Structure 1
Amino acid sequence: MQIDNETHSLISSDKVEDTKVYNASGEKLGSIDSLMINKREGNVAYAVMSFGGFLGMGEKYHPLPWDQLNYNEDDDGYVVNLTKDQLAGGPTIEKQELNRLTDPVYGREIYNYYGSPIYWG
């Protein structure tokens, strides 16, 4: 299903996927691959950012707590206040490990690394 409209505060998940992610210096870090949503609370737990690789080979994924992403209309993308080194040192998974994204222990690791409020999963 494709939803063309969005409001000032709401956006369809399919419009978030593939949105670019930049650091504060304007350097592209990757793009949003998917969102992990707490199905009981109805909140986005974290965005999964993909980066690296070529034609799907060697691509890695960084789950980022949703509160780390700030939408920038001028860039039509999300900005994180992180350096490449901070991102590289954070939780990272490869395609064959994507099932870890539903593990509450891993979710807490993600939130702890970025200093975000306690993970509720």
Structure 2
Amino acid sequence: MVTASGHTEAIQASRVIGTEVYNTEGEHIGTIEDVMLEKTNNSIMFAVIGFGGFLGIGEKYHAVPWSALDYDPSRGGYVVPFTKDQLKAAPVHDIADLTGDDGYKARDASYSYYQVPPYWV
């Protein structure tokens, strides 16, 4: 099935990882570093977006609700409806934070900060 923006609903996680992320103003935000899956109810918890840093040094990770990302074929990347300032002020995590407490703490902080309706209620 094809989504409203013209792309298919299914994609391999390996194709998502490494994809660039932009905001609606066209500014480069970061890169999708990983996708966190909630294995008990088959949902995508959030995308892990690397923001800042150089060659992995000083990079910060943001958990961004998957539903907030929309693929834009003309950019060859995902677009989020957030400004760079919003992302800079967002909760920042290291890899251990993203997986600690089964990812629920990072997930809950992300959905709350970005004011995205939770998929789990």
TM-score grouping bracket, smaller chain normalisation: 0.7 to 0.9
Question: Letter of the aligned partner of 2:23 in structure 1?
Answer: N
Aligned 1:12-27 pairs, distance under 5 A = 12-27=12-27
Q: What is the Cα deviation at residue 116 of structure 1? A: 1.1
Shift of 1:118: 2.3
Contact 1:61 1:95 (8 Å CA) reproduced: yes
**TM-score normalised to structure 2 length:** 0.85
Unaligned runs of 5+ in 2: 1-6
The count of corresponding residues between Structure 1 and Structure 2 is 115
SS in 2 for 1:48: strand
* 3-state DSSP of counterpart to 1:108: helix
Equivalences for residues 1-121 of structure 1 within 5 A: 8-95=8-95, 97-100=97-100, 102-118=102-118, 120=120
Cα separation, 1, equivalents of 2:101 and 2:23: 23
CA shift digits 1:47-93 (9 cap, x unpaired): 00002111211011011001110110111100011001101111111
- CA–CA separation in structure 1 for the residues paired with 2:79 and 2:103: 26
Alpha-carbon contact 2:97-2:103 (below 8 Å) kept? no
1:119 is displaced (CA, Å) by: 5.5
Distance in 2 separating the partners of 1:22 and 1:75: 8
Gaps of 5+ in 1: 1-6
Distance of aligned partners of 1:51 and 1:31 in 2 relative to their CA distance in 1, 3 Å threshold? same
One-letter amino acid of the structure 1 residue matched with residue 12 of structure 2: S
3-state secondary structure, aligned to 1:111: helix
RMSD: 2.0
Q: TM-score, normalised by structure 1?
A: 0.85
Tell me the distance in 2 between the aligned counterparts of 1:37 and 1:103. 9
